[in-house]
């Protein structure tokens, strides 16, 4: 369906090895017929001679394919949900934060082809990992068609859709963070109360998520459950190097849209 550019700057990268490509295919649950296309999917702009040789165009395509598949899934699974609710869930499931979480869960970072500027950093930014996942979805579409891409996307996102549907805001951030922590550290996040204020009948809490000894930015909430959800959202955003949705210096306790799972 698409032509693979001639990529000229991959010789120093391990992902060009056949065994690494095979391991990537196992993680995805899909075997590429065109291995050059898979290498293209894995190539960040920092490792390519031109931007057209990077995975940016594939990211653009994969984002659209993922959106279509998620819309189809939501339409099928939630026949009684209104358009606004479906849109809310979709926006979370296809977000950069969620895509980065999935990429880390699949350990796709070890297959990413990057240049020295990116490889020298301690941790790959979440935005790059999210783009990698989208590029792979686009590559699967080009290699095997819509049905193949649909099958992989449904498999990788089904759990995230169910998690999103189980909370009032469309996503269960504590569940997402727990999966990520268990995958990366074999630990479960701990939630610590940093501060509290207000009378006993209307107390508010500042809570931080702690993983492997590292405390992430806390978040205020009108109850402990809401504060924990917001703290988990902050942690995921911090890990993915995204702006904090609930900066700890801001008091959001008056917000009626508290993220409390049902």
**Which positions are annotated as active-site residues?**
63, 134
Cα 1 to Cα 72, 127, 128, 154: the distances in Å are 23, 27, 25, 22
Tell me which long-range contacts 250-254 makes (C-beta under 8 A, separation of at least 24).
Answer: 250/220, 251/204, 251/220, 252/219, 252/220, 252/221, 253/204, 253/220, 253/221, 253/222, 254/222
Give me 236's structure tokens. Answer: 């995921």
250: left (phi over 0), alpha (psi -120 to 50) or beta: beta
Give me 104's structure tokens. Answer: 């880390």
261: left (phi over 0), alpha (psi -120 to 50) or beta: beta
């Amino acid at each position: 369906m698409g032509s693979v550019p001639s990529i000229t700057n991959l010789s120093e990268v391990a992902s060009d090895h056949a065994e690494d490509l095979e391991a990537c295919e196992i993680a995805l649950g899909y075997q590429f017929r065109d291995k050059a296309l898979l290498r293209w999917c894995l190539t960040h702009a920092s490792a390519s001679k031109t931007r057209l040789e990077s995975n940016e165009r594939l990211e653009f395509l994969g984002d659209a394919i993922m959106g279509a598949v998620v819309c189809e899934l939501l339409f099928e699974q939630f026949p009684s949900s209104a358009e606004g609710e479906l849109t809310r869930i979709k926006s979370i499931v296809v977000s950069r934060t969620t895509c980065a979480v999935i990429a880390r869960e699949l350990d796709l970072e070890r297959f990413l082809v990057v240049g020295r500027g990116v490889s020298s950093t301690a941790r790959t930014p979440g935005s790059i990992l999210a783009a990698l996942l989208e590029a792979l979805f686009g590559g699967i579409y080009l290699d095997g068609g819509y049905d193949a891409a649909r099958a992989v996307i449904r498999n990788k996102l089904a759990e995230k859709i169910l998690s999103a549907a189980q909370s009032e805001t469309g996503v269960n951030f504590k569940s997402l963070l727990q999966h990520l922590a268990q995958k990366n550290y074999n630990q479960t996040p701990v939630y610590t109360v940093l501060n509290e204020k207000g009378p006993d009948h209307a107390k508010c809490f500042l809570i931080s998520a702690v993983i492997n000894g590292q405390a992430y930015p806390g978040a205020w909430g009108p109850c402990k459950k809401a504060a924990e959800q917001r703290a988990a959202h902050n942690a995921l955003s911090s890990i993915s190097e995204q702006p904090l949705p609930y900066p700890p210096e801001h008091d959001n306790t008056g917000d009626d849209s508290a993220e409390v799972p049902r």
